[in-house]
Amino acid sequence: MTRLSVNINKIATIRNSRGGNVPNVLDAAINCQTYGAQGITVHPRPDERHIRYADVREIRPHVYTEFNIEGNPNKKFIDLVLEVKPEQVTLVPDSHDAITSSQGWDTVKYQKHLTDLVTEFQKHGIRTSIFVEANLDFIEGAAKTGTNRIELYTEPYATHYVINKQEAIQSFVEAANLAKKLGMDVNAGHDLSLVNLNYLVTQIPIIAEVSIGHALISEALYFGLEKVIHRYLKELENT
């Protein structure tokens, strides 16, 4: 079954809007795992507008499932990952002022840079994943870096799902199959929700993990965090 990693950035965003420590991101991480989530994802950015570097350090000892730290691998990020040693690091080419991730890596252009990063993280026993679009050239480029996994950037899938889900999924099926053929496992994330998740993992059953934050946390405002996590797990169990 595809594993569910909950991105708790949005909880930190709400906290930061008022200051203080409500809602508490550590409690959120612990509760997500208690409710059945199989991983916790955080995406610290240089301006710390949601998850802070201190949050990552505080959360780490309490993650007993899988800890995934994603972000743009600048020096501060690299140092944090090597200090905290999550089970997985996901490399994302965000600009410093990006509202949210909006593209994957050009793994051809940045192949040497990514190869050096992958080598360094793997040397410390950290599984690597490269955030990439469903572009076969970029999938091949990712394989040449030696990365363990790719994470498919699924915003285009989510956008076109409501128009024509068969067309929306096609390039992602091809990309995932190529990645697997080239020896990489496949993750997926961005704009996945209760509306489009089941179709994705049904059509691409080899997806190892999905990372979901914005939709899941938003839906939790209506239904409660525990019920929403159970609903996501049910969608994944149907594959």
How many whole angstroms separate alpha carbon 74 and alpha carbon 82? 12
Q: Where do the H-state alpha helices sit in 75-110?
A: 75-84
Q: At CB < 8 A and 24+ separation, what contacts does 144-147 make?
A: 144/107, 144/111, 144/115, 145/107, 145/111, 145/114, 145/115, 145/118, 146/115, 146/118, 146/119, 146/122, 147/114, 147/118, 147/184
Identify the burial level of 205 via C-beta atoms within 10 angstroms of its C-beta, where 0-12 means exposed, 13-18 middle and 19 or more buried.
Answer: exposed
Nearest Cα to 145, choosing from 98, 101, 193, 91?
A: 91
At residue 30, the 3 state secondary structure works out as helix
Tokens 């594959």 sit on residue = 239
At residue 174, the 3 state secondary structure works out as helix
Cβ atoms within 10 Å of 197's Cβ, excluding its own: 26
Residues serving a catalytic function are 43, 70, 190
